Amino acid sequence: MPILLRLGEITLKSNRTRGRFESLLVHNIIAALKMEGLKDFQILRERGRIFIYLRDEELERKAIDVLRRVFGITSLSPVKELCFKTLSDIAKYAEELFKDYVKDRSFAVRVKRVGKHDFTSLDVAREVGAVLYKYAKRVNLTNPERTVYVEIRNDKAYFYTEVIRAFGGLPIGSEGKVVALVSGGYDSAVAAWFMLRRGAKVEYVFCNLGGLAHELGV
């Protein structure tokens, strides 16, 4: 099952800067996953999205926990992927995936679409909603108990139910280096975290003002 990564702030940059930041983010993702022992994966880049394909799906939750802490990723979702030819293909696959998920619950369908198609995002929402309606309690677009997401990118459709928040910001290394003075208070750690989130590499300087006990505490 692929993991879809959303890049947020990076997508606001110029084409040249965005390409550089995305390459740096991919480098950081690879380093973070390998540091946690996750080595058997593939990465696919698309405009505004990165997809991680794990060969061992049992490691998905571990990978998600790593990825949500990589600066530059705004949110992520484990997704099901479908190569489709018609809108009917999308609706049938959604029914197969989500009929139990929406059973006896209120639900809504949210659709995003990139590329040229002979249907609109609203068409997709209507078709998917129609096939799921017979299993659900009712449609509720404002406060549903279950939300089904469909993202269409050219000839592929991605289906998911989770949107997991990540740290966001910019990839580490996209800005310069800074020094953080760490003396034991939480304010210096918070400041360093925000600098990391802005893409800076942080060098830490520790001032031992209280002997061994203070050093161990910090």
Among 22, 47, 78, give the residue marking a domain's end: 78
Contact 125, 91 (CB under 8 A): no
Q: Determine the pLDDT at residue 210.
A: 61
Domain with 123 in it: 85-154
Spatial distance between the Cα atoms of 79 and 52, rounded to a whole number of angstroms: 10
Give 211's pLDDT tier (boundaries 50, 70, 90). low
Same domain, 26 and 49: yes
Cβ-in-10-Å burial (0-12, 13-18, 19+) of 129 comes to buried
- Report whether pLDDT(10) > 90: no
Q: For a pLDDT cut of 70, what percent of the chain falls above it?
A: 94
In a domain, 15, yes or no: yes
Give 42's pLDDT tier (boundaries 50, 70, 90). very high
What's 44's DSSP letter? E
Same domain, 64 and 96: no
- The mean pLDDT value of the chain amounts to 91
Give 18's pLDDT tier (boundaries 50, 70, 90). confident
Quote the pTM value. Answer: 0.86
Q: Determine the pLDDT at residue 13.
A: 85
Give 8's pLDDT tier (boundaries 50, 70, 90). confident
Among 31, 58, 78, give the residue marking a domain's end: 78
Q: Determine the pLDDT at residue 216.
A: 60
Dihedral, CA of residue 195, residue 196, residue 199 and residue 202, to nearest 10 = 80
The string of DSSP letters for 64-88 reads HHHHTTSTT--EEEE-EEEE-SSHH
- Report whether pLDDT(104) > 90: yes
- Report whether pLDDT(87) > 60: yes
What's 100's DSSP letter? T
> Per residue in 121-145, pLDDT tens?
999 999 999 999 999 999 999 999 9
- Report whether pLDDT(187) > 90: no
Domains: count for the chain: 3
Among 78, 106, 130, give the residue marking a domain's end: 78
CATH number of the domain encompassing residue 39: 3.30.70.1510
Q: Which residues pair with 138 in a beta bridge?
A: 106
Q: Determine the pLDDT at residue 217.
A: 55
Spatial distance between the Cα atoms of 186 and 125, rounded to a whole number of angstroms: 47
Give 149's pLDDT tier (boundaries 50, 70, 90). very high
Residue predicted with more confidence, 160 or 181: 160
In a domain, 159, yes or no: no
